[in-house]
Amino acid sequence: MLVANTATVMIKLGGAGHHTNTLPPKKIRILLQLIKAQELAYVMSLPFPKLAVLCFYHRVLSYRLSGYCLYVTGFVIVATCLLGVIGGFFNCRPFHSFWEPGIQAHCTVDAMLAFRYYSIPNITTDIAMIIIPIPAMLRLKIGILTWIGIILALSTCTL
Are 4 and 37 members of one domain?
Answer: yes
The more confident residue out of 159 and 83 is 83
Cβ(11)–Cβ(17) under 8 Å?
A: yes
Mean pLDDT of 69-97: 89
Cβ(133)–Cβ(78) under 8 Å?
A: no
Are 94 and 16 members of one domain?
Answer: no
Are 24 and 53 members of one domain?
Answer: no
pLDDT for 2: 52
> How many domains is the chain partitioned into structurally?
2
DSSP 68-119: HHHHHHHHHHHHHHHHHHHHHHHSEESGGGGT-TTSPPEESS-HHHHHHHHH
pLDDT for 149: 85
Mean pLDDT of 134-158: 79
Mean pLDDT of 44-55: 91
Are 140 and 77 members of one domain?
Answer: yes
Q: What is the pLDDT of residues 96-106, one digit of tens each?
A: 777 787 788 78
Are 34 and 61 members of one domain?
Answer: no
Are 58 and 117 members of one domain?
Answer: yes
Are 135 and 115 members of one domain?
Answer: yes
Residue 144 pLDDT class (50, 70, 90 cuts)? confident
Q: What is the pLDDT of residues 19-32, one digit of tens each?
A: 666 777 777 778 77
* Domain of residue 118, residue span: 46-158
Are 30 and 57 members of one domain?
Answer: no
Write down the pTM of the prediction. 0.77
Are 68 and 90 members of one domain?
Answer: yes
Are 16 and 55 members of one domain?
Answer: no
In this structure, is the dihedral angle defined by the CA atoms of residues 134, 138, 140 and 141, taken in order, positive or negative? Answer: positive
Are 66 and 105 members of one domain?
Answer: yes
